[in-house]
Structure 1
Amino acid sequence: MENKSQPALEQEPVRAQRVAPAGEGSQAGDSNALTRLLRKRLERYVSIMPVVLVGDDPDAVHDVRVWSRRLQQSLVALFPKPRSGKVRKLRRTLRRVRRALGQWRNCDVVLKLASKQQRRTRSREKKQAWGLVRDYLLQKRGDQVARARKKLRRQNLADLVGRIEKLMVQSGGQQETEALMARLCAGIEGAWTKWQSSLVQAVEARQRSDIHALRIASKTLRYRIELLHDLGDANTQPLLEWLKELQEALGIWHDRQVLYQAMAEAMARPEFLLRRPDVARKLLIEMEKDYLRQETAINEIFRLAAEHGGRKQMETWIAKTPHETAPPDRT
């Protein structure tokens, strides 16, 4: 996954660390530190992109998407609303990159799942069925890779770097520490409020779209807290560990949904149904059995969201954190 776990550290209360005046030993919230973090994330993002353009490493595709989110989160923090057209354009560019790679990434994930299913079964018929799904996915992946690279080649990496560097010079790191920290914490509180609403809706409806919305809300909350952590607030480590565990459970659920979609697409082809109705029946049985098991996975997601100790730590952190009111921000 994109974030390596670290042991939680015992430190002073979050409030005391977060509002410490500049020059008294607190690194969290220093706008110069935020500029340095933005540059570090930019370097990481730019270093991975060429691998995606010319290579065939699924991890590189995943990493570009992760670091584009981290880079975007840093831009949002350093340049608050009202943002210039230049900053908004950079955000759109990063979102386009993620969208371009989305289907490629889905194909990589589902191919891995289909290959695992094929290896695990001893039935010759089932092996053949999963093999046909893999063949379909390999063809689809090739199309998605070509489409994604065509879009990505329109992105000028040197130009992206130049535009961000210019903005960093213009910012000059002149933002006051306390104001910056209050704004970052307000962003986290806004994401937390959205997350709570998404959880209530998902629990009540138990619909795929609502659970997906909870997944996105969890991801947003995690990336905002991660930014604060990377700026020196180690008190957020337990929160990140909880969100990482929750996001992994949501990610596994999401991957199974993408697998079902791929199986349906593979079977929906006329040549498949007409020539191999026996294989289609096998796949439908497999899908039904696995789909029933997803109820257990959903219950585990809701348990992690509501009963995990990290949830209580998150509530305590929010209660202790000074903040300013901030408008909602799409990141």
Structure 2
Amino acid sequence: MRVSGVTPLWLAAPPLLALRVDDFFARWRQAQRTLDPEDIHDLRVSSRRLREGLLLFAPLYRPAALRQGVRPVRRITRLLGALRNADEALLFFRELAATAAPAACAPLGDLVGRYQQRRQTEAHHLHTALSNLHAGATHAALAKIVARPRVFSATALPIDPFMTIGAFAGESFAGRLAELLELVPAASREEDAAAQHRLRIAVKHYRYRLEILSFLLSDGYATIHGLVKQYQELLGTLHDLDVFAELVRQEGLPSATECVILETLAAHRRHHFAAFAALLAAHPFATIGEQVRKAL
């Protein structure tokens, strides 16, 4: 079915969600076969995009059925987290070891070795868990759920299922944008890592919503999406650096080595925060929101 901006919401939701469901399970099978870092990353992104789609169209579905459908997707997201963290740490510490001061090279090499072992353990755990979850049966159950939105109900629905998907998208983007704007002032303070983490999560939700509804946007979509993705990547790097710093503190490294690594991480963080602040100044979220509104 071809969906356009004037398609009623109840008709638009099932095919849009079906695309996300099919993408998720295709990536599940690919990641299960290879356990490749890129495939793991793609599956994790797909799981979050699907969950955002289910949240987006949740008012059209029975809450109990939706909870049943979301549960395995959320479980996959969580299972992937440990392996993704090991992959990111390995990549970062390998690069750091290649450019570190001589005194830090040996301890960093040991750290890389530890994460290689952790990666192998997490990969085995993930492969077993994915096999036990039975992708085929889970796919069929979730596809059945998304194919059956509520149109008529004995109780009032929280949304008009006959409104156009275009009108619904405008309201949806405005709601997500309001959440972003509330978080920006605190996240603009370099020392407030917790606020930057909250903004990172909100930006991810906004990006995935853009991707789900991208067919409604005019020629400006590529620019808008590129800016939002840039925000997400910068905030994601800030968060990763904070996580890596905590990992280093827990590894029991020699004091001098720990200080060298932590200062390197701090320098990377200052650099990426400066890039984030520059992006905020050049392309504030309010402007991006206005671009979305005009593109609809």
TM-score by structure 1 length? 0.75
**Pair 1:110 & 2:89 matched:** yes
Pick aligned residue for 2:200 from 212, 215, 219: 215
Deviation readout 1:13-52 (Å, 9 max, x if unpaired): xxxxxxxxxxxx9823635554333223222211221333
Q: How many residues align?
A: 286
Q: Which residue of 2 aligns with 1:73?
A: 52
Question: Which amino acid letter does the alignment assign opposite residue 264 of structure 1?
Answer: R
* Structure 2: distance between partners of 1:296 and 1:243: 19
Q: Which residue of 1 aligns with 2:71?
A: 92
Q: Which residue of 2 aligns with 1:14?
A: none
Q: Which residue of 1 aligns with 2:278?
A: 303
Question: Which amino acid letter does the alignment assign opposite residue 258 of structure 1?
Answer: V
RMSD: 3.0
* Structure 2: distance between partners of 1:157 and 1:26: 28
Residues 197 and 209 of structure 1: is their aligned pair in 2 closer, same or farther, counting only changes over 3 Å?
A: same
Q: Which residue of 1 aligns with 2:133?
A: 155
Q: Which residue of 2 aligns with 1:325?
A: none
- What runs of 5+ residues in structure 1 fail to find an aligned partner? 1-24, 268-272, 323-331
1:253 counterpart SS class: helix
Question: Which amino acid letter does the alignment assign opposite residue 27 of structure 1?
Answer: S
* Structure 2: distance between partners of 1:292 and 1:235: 35
Residues 217 and 313 of structure 1: is their aligned pair in 2 closer, same or farther, counting only changes over 3 Å?
A: closer
Question: Which amino acid letter does the alignment assign opposite residue 288 of structure 1?
Answer: E
* Structure 1: distance between partners of 2:220 and 2:271: 32
Residues 241 and 177 of structure 1: is their aligned pair in 2 closer, same or farther, counting only changes over 3 Å?
A: farther
* Structure 1: distance between partners of 2:260 and 2:40: 32
* Structure 2: distance between partners of 1:36 and 1:173: 15
Pick aligned residue for 1:286 from 261, 268, 281: 261
Q: Which residue of 2 aligns with 1:36?
A: 15
Is the contact made by 1:242 and 1:311 (CA closer than 8 Å) also made in structure 2? Answer: no
Q: Which residue of 2 aligns with 1:141?
A: 119
Deviation readout 1:166-201 (Å, 9 max, x if unpaired): 234433999866443333322221111111111112
Q: Which residue of 2 aligns with 1:15?
A: none
**Pair 1:130 & 2:108 matched:** yes
**Pair 1:198 & 2:175 matched:** no
Shift of 1:292: 3.8
Greater shift, 55-64 or 83-92, is seen at 83-92
Is the contact made by 1:222 and 1:240 (CA closer than 8 Å) also made in structure 2? Answer: yes
* Structure 1: distance between partners of 2:6 and 2:59: 14
Report which structure shows greater RCO (CA 8 Å, sep ≥6).
1
Deviation readout 1:292-318 (Å, 9 max, x if unpaired): 442232232133134327752423544
* Structure 1: distance between partners of 2:191 and 2:99: 30
Is the contact made by 2:44 and 2:77 (CA closer than 8 Å) also made in structure 1? Answer: yes
Pick aligned residue for 1:266 from 251, 255, 274: 251
Deviation readout 1:99-132 (Å, 9 max, x if unpaired): 11112101101101111122234x5433212101
Residues 104 and 211 of structure 1: is their aligned pair in 2 closer, same or farther, counting only changes over 3 Å?
A: same
2:117 counterpart SS class: helix
Question: Which amino acid letter does the alignment assign opposite residue 70 of structure 1?
Answer: R
Q: Which residue of 1 aligns with 2:234?
A: 249
Deviation readout 1:218-258 (Å, 9 max, x if unpaired): 11111112221145654443321210111121122222223
